[in-house]
Amino acid sequence: MPVSIELNPPLAIVHINNPPVNALSHEVRLGLLNACKKLNTDQAIKAVILICDGRTFIAGADIREFGQPPEEPHLPDVISSLEASTKPWIAAIHGTALGGGCEVTLGCHYRVAVPSAKLGLPEVNLGLIPGAGGTVRLPRLVGVQKAIEMVTSGKPVKASKAKEIGLIDALAPDHQLEQFAIEFATSMMNEPTPLAVSKRPITDIPNLAETADILAGIKAKARGQLSPLEAASSVLDACNLSVEDALKNERQRFVKLKESSQSKALRYAFFAERQTTKIDELKEVEPREINHCGVVGGGTMGAGIATAMLLSGLQVTLIEQDEDEAATAKNRVIKTLEASLSRGLITQARFESIKTDFKATSQFEKLKSVDLVIEAIFEDMAVKRDLFEKLSKTCSKDTIFATNTSYLNINELAESTVNPERVIGLHFFSPAHIMKLLEVIKTDTVSNEVLATGFALGKKLRKVPVLSGVCDGFIGNRILSSYRKQCDYMLEDGASPQEIDEAMRAFGMAMGPFEMQDMAGLDIGWANRKRLAPTRDLNERYVKIADRLCELGRFGQKTGFGWYEYPNGARKGIPDSTVEAIIVEERAIAGIIPKSFSPEEIQTRILDAMACEGHKILSEGIARSASDIDMVMILGYGFPRWRGGPMFMVQNK
């Protein structure tokens, strides 16, 4: 039974045990309701403690049940029963009290938590809003502003913060939650039971102008996602409706969103993200322990990778060509760590110890005893081959050799080492200490043990590792390349860079494709096109506009000109007549009469191109599954998560 009662008059302890995360399945809801009814009639019981077994308090509704017909008792009714109980209920929280789990605590009369616990309403991440009273009760405890922040960001708060804002009543010492809850309940038993949360007033109701401002700000930030606006609206409605009506209003919004394509896409993404590491052939494989890593190359990528490793507690030795370059690379890493320090992501003590332990040097032999070394030098096969040969001579025969190449053939690179079974691709995305995606590239020769270690390292770095086979650009850059080609075709056929950028921003991308190229630098793509030129199919359409911009030294923001002009170092570009003239000339050379494109046509053409390439990648066995491809596009390329990814979209048209 997932819910059990331990009677210890005058206290009762209700335990939930529903691994892995104590989700509120039908059985748990029923068990809780029955426990509440039973304890209400037990005269010997004066207070009830609700506590969970395992690694966490209730992590929310059971997301797997969302696709099925709802079964009674519904969660809002269970929580209302707890709130109306004749005995005070005390939620004793460890791990995470999320979504419906947090709402259960709001139905209790007291909340106590260990310092490591977190509480939050992350429903927006699933395209939902809290559906069991969260938007109605939370503002009564923490105020409207904080409640809106929590339900629209979905970010949980730590127990200490929860105490500060009034979300919990007391902090329990670590590892003594149950004992503390018993003492707390005993001391409260003879006090008058506090007013149910839903009976408390909301004290900071915003006026009409403030309400409009709040909603406008959230809409702008949500970039097409519906749930944040719905969540804020539900909190704001709760300020003016009776509790009964506010709960009904919240439930209606919740049920409507549950059926929306956005929520279906986000729920798909939730499970897809957890599928990427479930690889049959690695199930029984024990990864190697990785403690000390080498990073060769301290440019943007190398420094970012080193930072990610240091932040995850790994020892790092970074190699640069000479001591000056090594010092510059070290400074680059320290600067990023300083930013992490100022954002409160690491403590001052941790910052100082990383700073002392982190070594950047030109002495290659310092890599002798590392467990894994990753190269992040420039994209040149001959130089990388030389490096791998050198590494073979320097490092132990067990050291794993990883490359961060974005395009090059890693099978070829593996050939240059003594033990090719230890060569793997670990393709990070910039900024490497922030971006969640890690493509783990499986060469023809890599051993399962090394592959499993790549995945374990990805998880240690708090990334989502996705398996990819070897091909030009792997999963992500290969799809990006067909996306860009499609943009170039539309450009030559009549669309402007601004129209394409605007259409893709309206689609939900963080940036349009041309703005993105200007930010990343047009020279990268140019070098790549030149590399591929000798093997390009001469029958394939080729648009020369980007090459012509590069020939003029227009490499994007860093040169002040690219697809747009950036006067005086401006971050936002303005349309440029030189670009327009080149586009017009190229259309004329190709004999094209320009046509107009609607935003929908632009979006559809791009989406179809991405999905089409995705299908090719699948049929070639480069990606394991359509959902892995979607994860790559969402986590590495800014594809809007609430659309589920290109493969999900075409499958659910």
Residues with a catalytic annotation lie at 103, 123
Beta-carbon contacts of residue 259 (< 8 Å; ≥ 6 apart): none
Of the candidate residues 100, 107, 420, 425, the single one contacting ligand 3HC (CB under 6 A): 100
**98 forms part of the interface with ligand 3HC (CB under 6 A):** yes
- How far apart, in Å, are the Cα atoms of 562 and each of 173, 548, 589? 57, 11, 22
Q: Which is nearer to ligand 3HC, 57 or 407 (CB)?
A: 57
Q: Is residue 456 within 8 Å of residue 290, measured between CB atoms?
A: yes
Q: Which is nearer to ligand 3HC, 96 or 392 (CB)?
A: 96
Is it true that the peptide bond before 10 is cis, omega within 30 degrees of 0?
Answer: yes
The window from 130-138, 220-228, 291-299, 456-464 that contacts ligand 3HC (CB under 6 A) reads 130-138
The window from 95-103, 261-269, 280-288, 385-393 that contacts ligand 3HC (CB under 6 A) reads 95-103
Q: Other C-beta atoms within 10 Å of 595: how many? A: 10
**230 forms part of the interface with ligand 3HC (CB under 6 A):** no
The window from 94-102, 446-454, 614-622, 629-637 that contacts ligand 3HC (CB under 6 A) reads 94-102
Min CB(259)–ligand 3HC separation in Å:
14
- The alpha carbon of 149 is separated from its chain's Cα centroid by a whole number of angstroms, namely 18
Beta bridge partners of 467: 440
- How far apart, in Å, are the Cα atoms of 233 and each of 131, 149, 211, 240, 511? 13, 12, 9, 11, 27
The window from 19-27, 45-53, 469-477, 491-499 that contacts ligand 3HC (CB under 6 A) reads 19-27
The window from 93-101, 218-226, 380-388, 610-618 that contacts ligand 3HC (CB under 6 A) reads 93-101
Q: Is residue 409 within 8 Å of residue 454, measured between CB atoms?
A: no
Q: Which is nearer to ligand 3HC, 31 or 556 (CB)?
A: 31
Main-chain dihedrals φ then ψ at residue 140, nearest 5 degrees = -75, -20
Given phi > 0 = left and psi -120 to 50 = alpha, else beta, which region is 521? left
**199 forms part of the interface with ligand 3HC (CB under 6 A):** no
Q: Which is nearer to ligand 3HC, 227 or 481 (CB)?
A: 227
**103 forms part of the interface with ligand 3HC (CB under 6 A):** yes
Q: Is residue 52 within 8 Å of residue 14, measured between CB atoms?
A: no
**123 forms part of the interface with ligand 3HC (CB under 6 A):** yes
Min CB(459)–ligand 3HC separation in Å:
9
**67 forms part of the interface with ligand 3HC (CB under 6 A):** no
How many residues bind ligand 3HC (CB under 6 A)? The answer is: 25
**62 forms part of the interface with ligand 3HC (CB under 6 A):** yes
Rounded Cα gap, residues 102 and 110, in angstroms: 12
**628 forms part of the interface with ligand 3HC (CB under 6 A):** no
**21 forms part of the interface with ligand 3HC (CB under 6 A):** yes
The window from 99-107, 218-226, 571-579, 634-642 that contacts ligand 3HC (CB under 6 A) reads 99-107
Q: Is residue 221 within 8 Å of residue 636, measured between CB atoms?
A: no
Beta-carbon contacts of residue 489 (< 8 Å; ≥ 6 apart): 541, 543, 605
Q: Which is nearer to ligand 3HC, 265 or 583 (CB)?
A: 265
Of the candidate residues 32, 48, 59, 229, the single one contacting ligand 3HC (CB under 6 A): 59
Beta bridge partners of 346: none
| Tokens standing for residue 239 | 């300020």
**96 forms part of the interface with ligand 3HC (CB under 6 A):** yes
Of the candidate residues 2, 107, 122, 614, the single one contacting ligand 3HC (CB under 6 A): 122
Rounded Cα gap, residues 468 and 125, in angstroms: 26
Q: Which is nearer to ligand 3HC, 63 or 189 (CB)?
A: 63
**82 forms part of the interface with ligand 3HC (CB under 6 A):** no
Q: Which is nearer to ligand 3HC, 56 or 417 (CB)?
A: 56
Of the candidate residues 2, 31, 88, 99, the single one contacting ligand 3HC (CB under 6 A): 99
Rounded Cα gap, residues 453 and 293, in angstroms: 13
**302 forms part of the interface with ligand 3HC (CB under 6 A):** no
Of the candidate residues 92, 132, 346, 373, the single one contacting ligand 3HC (CB under 6 A): 132
Of 50, 77, 83, 71, which Cα lies nearest the Cα of 131? 77
Residues numbered 262 to 291 that lie near ligand 3HC (CB under 6 A) are 274
Q: Is residue 250 within 8 Å of residue 234, measured between CB atoms?
A: yes
**107 forms part of the interface with ligand 3HC (CB under 6 A):** no
**635 forms part of the interface with ligand 3HC (CB under 6 A):** no
End-to-end, the C-alpha distance of the chain in Å comes to 41
Q: Which is nearer to ligand 3HC, 131 or 508 (CB)?
A: 131
Q: Is residue 445 within 8 Å of residue 423, measured between CB atoms?
A: yes
- How far apart, in Å, are the Cα atoms of 521 and each of 201, 363, 636? 54, 31, 17
SS (H, E, C) 105-122: HHHCCEEEECCCCEEECH
Q: Which is nearer to ligand 3HC, 221 or 274 (CB)?
A: 274
Q: Which is nearer to ligand 3HC, 96 or 404 (CB)?
A: 96
**63 forms part of the interface with ligand 3HC (CB under 6 A):** yes
**61 forms part of the interface with ligand 3HC (CB under 6 A):** yes
Of the candidate residues 13, 16, 23, 196, the single one contacting ligand 3HC (CB under 6 A): 23
Q: Other C-beta atoms within 10 Å of 544: how many? A: 16
- How far apart, in Å, are the Cα atoms of 117 and each of 156, 331, 429, 541? 10, 35, 31, 57
Min CB(487)–ligand 3HC separation in Å:
35
Number of H helices, E strands in the chain: 26, 17
Binding site for ligand 3HC (CB under 6 A): 20-21, 23, 56, 59-64, 75, 96, 98-100, 103, 122-123, 126, 128, 130-132, 134, 274
